[in-house]
Amino acid sequence: MALIKEEDKQFLQSEFTKYLRDDVDLVVFTSENEDCRYCKEVVQICDELAETSNKISVKKFVFEKDKDECKKYGVTKYPAVAVTKHDETSGRIMYYGIPSGYEFGSVIEDIKMVSTNEAKISAKAMEIISKIDKPVSIKVFVTTSCPYCPRAVGTAHKFALANSNISGEMIEAGEFSNDANEFGVSSVPHIVINGDVQFVGARSDEEFAQFIMEAYNHSSQA
């Protein structure tokens, strides 16, 4: 049974024909363990997305077997999907958990953004994040039923595209409850930067960038 409705596939075909420029890879990491609740569904979603455009390819790895690939992409858990330029090894735009519900739209926007290499960022925020010259990790805890979460995920991912020192992870809080509990997640979107600076809610580009700079300054002083 298809996970993407036929009318939605037709819409995506039109969108991708219109907007995609360079080839994009959806790099999927799953597990053969039974504890992976949505591994099959994540693979199916990516395969069905690839059916809508010849500019989208799917690469598949198994967490326990493909340790070298996990290391290359910085993958620490499963299921995971990295959105990258074709044959580029990058885990900067990452999804941990099933990208369904409202987060399905985030994946679509990321595919278009990565393909065109264009991130719509305010001038002030761009000025701030351009100063980041060492690794900064952004974790965005979400639920797939949260209508505000895609905005936070989108901001983290466009910052990651704009500056190679920044990585952005969507983490589905229900699937990764241990991670969510570690950071005291009680409402979403809950953003954690470098495991240090935290805030809740979808913020403007400028506000989000200021939090990133705060975490960056903390790490510089450590």
Q: Identify the CATH class of 123-221.
A: alpha beta
Beta bridge partners of 169: 94, 139
Domain 123-221 in the same topology as domain 6-116: yes
Q: Is the pLDDT of residue 222 over 80?
A: no
| pTM, rounded to two decimals | 0.96
The pLDDT tens digits for 164-181 are 999 999 999 999 999 999
Q: Pinpoint the alpha helices (H) of the chain.
A: 6-19, 39-50, 67-73, 102-116, 123-129, 149-162, 177-182, 205-221
Q: Which of 9-13, 99-103, 105-109, 217-221 has the lowest mean pLDDT?
A: 217-221
Residues of the chain above pLDDT 90, percent: 95
The pLDDT tens digits for 106-124 are 999 999 999 999 999 999 9
With a CB cutoff of 8 Å and minimum separation 6, the contacts of 45 are 3, 4, 98, 99, 100, 104, 107
**CATH architecture observed for domain 6-116:** 3-Layer(aba) Sandwich (3.40)
Rounded to whole angstroms, how far apart are CA atoms 164 and 189? 23
Domain regions of the chain by residue span: 6-116, 123-221
